[in-house]
Amino acid sequence: MKFQNLNSTIIKSNWRLFFLFFVLLMVNLEIQAQSNRPQYWYTYNHTGRFSDRWGYGFDLNHRSNGVVPFNSTLSAARMGMTYHTKTGFRFTAGYAWFGTYVSERYRIWLHENRIYEQAQYTHGNSKHNFVHRIRIEHRWREQFTDINSEATNVFLTNRYRYLFQMDGPIKRGPDRTTKLRWQAANEFFIHNKENVGYMLFDQNRTLAGVMISPKGNLSLAVLYQLILLQQPLLRELQTIHSFRITLFHQLDLRKEKKNNVYEVPVVD
């Protein structure tokens, strides 16, 4: 009995130290990024299953620079249909709309319409999960024809993305009902048939943080994200510090669950 109490105390102490370290890291990055204001991403990610083979998904995304003032930079909505296999693969195709906010212009935002296809593979054990995702995006992007003009053109580019994500449990006491997991991921982007500058890839994202899962089908991920964004005209990489808050919502609409596999929340 004493050993169990000691073990529970150690677990609580380790979790508090981890949480304190995470908060101090966020504050330190916020201070360092004052000259280049950090971004804040707010996402609602919803997935569902109709049957053992078919499912769907959609997400809503809003991004801003800073908290006070709250300067919007981008809003997005994405949806798709998913086919699940017996081997851990799933294939998705869908549509997405992105709106980039324009400052000091008459227009509110620039539109981007995407059609995408992706393949995702998940594997792991009872504690740790590993996700690989390849996504192809066909992007119809609207841009200004001139820096001093309101006229725009729409042009098509193709982009390839690869994501690797992993997660694992954070130990807690046996009396705790809310689950905590750490989550980390890296994703890089490659353009095709477009002048993206002096490097093959134009963007890389590295993420790490905590996922909070109470009882039910909801999970909340709080992540720090480091973005390396290429600026072709300046021939340099821009570093962007960002913080992501994502609410994952999962529904299972199957009447008979022949394949009851844990759905791993994947960052988007």
Higher pLDDT, 86 or 177: 86
Check: CB of residue 265 under 8 Å from CB of residue 238: no
234-255 mean pLDDT: 87
Distance CA 59, CA 167 (A): 21
**Given the structure tokens 């909070």, which residue do they identify?**
212
Check: CB of residue 75 under 8 Å from CB of residue 61: yes
DSSP 131-194: EEEEEEEEEEEEEESSTT---EEEEEEEEEEEEEEEEEE----TT--SEEEEEEEEEEEEEESS
Strand residue runs (E) in 13-53: 39-49
Tokens of 79: 């949806």
Higher pLDDT, 215 or 55: 55
Tokens of 265: 């929340």
Share of the chain above pLDDT 90, in %: 44
Check: CB of residue 142 under 8 Å from CB of residue 112: yes
pTM score of the predicted model: 0.80
179 pLDDT above the threshold of 90: no
Q: What is the pLDDT of residues 59-72, one digit of tens each?
A: 999 999 877 666 78
92-102 mean pLDDT: 93
Task: State in Å, rounded, how far the first CA of the chain is from the last one.
Answer: 44
194 pLDDT above the threshold of 70: no
Q: What is the pLDDT of residues 122-150, one digit of tens each?
A: 998 878 999 999 999 999 988 777 666 67
Q: What is the CATH number of domain 2-252?
A: 2.40.160.40
Distance CA 219, CA 232 (A): 38
| C-alpha angle 217-88-244 in degrees, rounded to nearest 5 | 45
| Torsion 147-153-154-157 (CA) sign | negative
Distance CA 76, CA 122 (A): 26
